[in-house]
Amino acid sequence: MSLKLSVIGTGYLGATHAACMASLGFEVIGVDVDPAKIDLLSQGKVPFYEPDLEDLLAEQIKSGRLKFSKNISDIADCDVHFICVGTPQVKNGIAADLTYVNAALESVAPIIKAGSLVVGKSTVPVGTAARLRDRLIEVNPKTDLAWNPEFLREGFAVEDTLRPNRLVVGTNSDQAEATLKKVYAQNLAEGTPWVRADLPTSELVKVAANSFLATKISFINAMAEICEAAGGDVTVLAKAIGYDPRIGNRFLQAGIGFGGGCLPKDIRAFMARAEELGAQQALEFLKEIDSINLRARQRIIELVRKDLVDDLNGKKVAILGAAFKPDSDDVRDSPALDIAAQLQAAGAIVTVHDPKAIANAQKRFPALKFADSIDDTFKDAEIVLHLTEWKIYRELDPAKMKSLVKSSIMIDGRNALDRSAWRAAGWKFRALGVSDNSQIK
Ligand code: UGA
């Protein structure tokens, strides 16, 4: 008989996981403490922008396999319960806030049936899973808890969930592993690597992976600083070192750095946990990774000041991009929005464009000016900053855009635009990590 699954927490992770599991043929019920979210999801609508998800979700609801509920007791007869709630940074420090994970466990523990398995997918500080497992068994002795971290990227959530590059399962129980092998039978049949670990290792895999990715980005941004100082070009440097397969060319895009709801808070929470464990020295370097990342935002502001001759007051600045990365409407810890807000605070008149993230950006920074069209954003601008590398920005016609601005200065904060095309159209073009090499086309 097919397993019945529940998903607790229906944000990016949970909504995607629920829809994808239903598409594999499982009966799935998603629950959330936010009734508005459940109402939307029940109608087949996704409360955030994620390519492919809405179609999949609507299709699965129509099939009758996927349901959403505001009532936690509706999950009681499920066999496997995935905890997918958020673990944001605490307000007054760098640690992870475990309020939602703890609450999720407390809500499922007393109501689930004997023999069922709770599976944590949220990113948590090492040690959390063992504590939650003890608590679960105290409340409901004939159940078990395993950990199964999620590695999906926003913008590729469906693809990454259906075709993950590995599956990691933290458990000491063969029975729990066998249950999860049934859930992921299709991936296993397709040859997805399966790594069984103990609970702490499975929690650590996730934060180690995100720390490594953050380190790669900050490494290349540190090289960008050196290139600026020495007259080099970080884009050429990245390309050249990336040909070494031990280094690889991915995640070496220099620019304004990483943001979003994961990388920044995960490296900070990892440092906080290491300190609790007395192992803070091992992760001292992550402090530097964080500083390099935040410094990139200041460096681009310095570049603006250089080109606008110090005084930003009353200067019209156009910003392309508000989301923390393209193909997402997520503005959590977005470098683009942070830079926009800082320029505005310095007296500039800032107009921000983004194809999907304006509504979220407006909620966070209501005082910023937003434009629906790219042309309106460029109109009369004295400087343009490209801060989130949406495809539509790469497709702009530099000659046409030049006719709209007052002064044609472009700063590419993502090293993603075609420099020579913009320069050929008469733009003064600058980028992070690239010294003023206007003679090189
Ligand atoms: C990240 C990880 O990539 C996922 O594997 C992980 O599952 C997820 O966090 C999570 O913990 O849930 P995500 O936050 O969606 O995924 O975004 P990334 O694609 O990793 O990008 C993060 C940030 O780094 C973005 O702001 C992006 O613009 C920036 N970035 C990325 C660079 O500045 N340079 C690069 O070369 C690559």
pLDDT in tens, 212-231: 999 999 999 999 999 999 99
Ligand 1 center to 187 CA (angstroms): 23
pLDDT of residue 354: 98
Ligand 1 center to 358 CA (angstroms): 20
Compute φ and ψ for 191, nearest 5 degrees: 95, 15
Atom of ligand 1 nearest to the CA of 252: 36
Question: Across-strand partners of 386?
Answer: 320, 412
- Specify the residue with its C-alpha closest to ligand 1, atom 25: 258
- Specify the residue with its C-alpha closest to ligand 1, atom 6: 151
- Specify the residue with its C-alpha closest to ligand 1, atom 21: 258
Mutate to test the pocket of ligand 1, among 210, 252, 391 (most ligand atoms within 8 A of CB): 210
Ligand 1 center to 322 CA (angstroms): 15
231-240 mean pLDDT: 97
Q: Confirm or reject: Cβ of 402 under 6 Å from ligand 1.
A: no
pLDDT of residue 341: 97
Atom of ligand 1 nearest to the CA of 209: 5
- The answer to whether residue 208 scores a pLDDT higher than 70 is yes
Residues 6+ apart with CB under 8 A from 101: 83, 85, 87, 120, 122, 124, 128, 132
Nearest in space to 354 (alpha carbons), one of 306, 398, 316, 392: 392
Mutate to test the pocket of ligand 1, among 153, 268, 299, 300 (most ligand atoms within 8 A of CB): 153
Ligand 1 center to 263 CA (angstroms): 7
Atom of ligand 1 nearest to the CA of 334: 26
Question: Across-strand partners of 162?
Answer: none
Give the Cα separation of 30 and 52 in Å (integer).
19
Q: Confirm or reject: Cβ of 123 under 6 Å from ligand 1.
A: yes
Q: Confirm or reject: Cβ of 210 under 6 Å from ligand 1.
A: yes
pLDDT of residue 437: 52
- Specify the residue with its C-alpha closest to ligand 1, atom 23: 258
- Residues 29-47 have pLDDT tens digits of 999 999 999 999 999 999 9
Nearest in space to 127 (alpha carbons), one of 223, 204, 58: 204
pTM for the full predicted model? 0.96
155-163 mean pLDDT: 96
pLDDT of residue 1: 67
Architecture of domain 4-197: 3-Layer(aba) Sandwich (3.40)
- Specify the residue with its C-alpha closest to ligand 1, atom 29: 258
- Residues 188-201 have pLDDT tens digits of 999 999 999 999 99
Q: Confirm or reject: Cβ of 316 under 6 Å from ligand 1.
A: no
Q: Confirm or reject: Cβ of 213 under 6 Å from ligand 1.
A: yes
- Specify the residue with its C-alpha closest to ligand 1, atom 20: 153
- Specify the residue with its C-alpha closest to ligand 1, atom 18: 153
- The answer to whether residue 263 scores a pLDDT higher than 50 is yes
pLDDT of residue 441: 42
- The answer to whether residue 406 scores a pLDDT higher than 50 is yes
- Residues 74-98 have pLDDT tens digits of 999 999 999 999 999 999 999 999 9
Nearest in space to 312 (alpha carbons), one of 283, 346, 345: 346
In contact, 55 and 237? CB cutoff 8 Å: no
Q: Confirm or reject: Cβ of 235 under 6 Å from ligand 1.
A: no
Q: Confirm or reject: Cβ of 389 under 6 Å from ligand 1.
A: no
Numbered ranges of CATH 3.40.50.720 in the chain: 4-197, 211-439
Give the Cα separation of 127 and 112 in Å (integer).
23
pLDDT of residue 440: 46
Angle between helices 128-139 and 99-108 (to 10 degrees): 30
Q: Confirm or reject: Cβ of 338 under 6 Å from ligand 1.
A: no
Architecture of domain 211-439: 3-Layer(aba) Sandwich (3.40)
397-422 mean pLDDT: 97
pLDDT of residue 309: 74
Q: Confirm or reject: Cβ of 217 under 6 Å from ligand 1.
A: yes
Portion of the chain with pLDDT greater than 70, in percent: 98
156-183 mean pLDDT: 97
- Enzyme catalytic residues: 262
Q: Confirm or reject: Cβ of 207 under 6 Å from ligand 1.
A: no
Mutate to test the pocket of ligand 1, among 84, 87, 148, 154 (most ligand atoms within 8 A of CB): 154
- The answer to whether residue 362 scores a pLDDT higher than 90 is yes
- The answer to whether residue 439 scores a pLDDT higher than 60 is no
Tell me how crowded residue 47 is: count the other CB atoms within 10 A of its CB.
Answer: 17
- The answer to whether residue 435 scores a pLDDT higher than 90 is no
Average pLDDT of the residues of the chain? 96
2-11 mean pLDDT: 96
Give the Cα separation of 170 and 68 in Å (integer).
27
- Residues 13-32 have pLDDT tens digits of 999 999 999 999 999 999 99
Q: Confirm or reject: Cβ of 255 under 6 Å from ligand 1.
A: yes
Q: Confirm or reject: Cβ of 66 under 6 Å from ligand 1.
A: no
Residues 6+ apart with CB under 8 A from 219: 252
Tell me how crowded residue 144 is: count the other CB atoms within 10 A of its CB.
Answer: 20
- The answer to whether residue 299 scores a pLDDT higher than 70 is yes
Report the greatest alpha carbon distance in the chain: 72
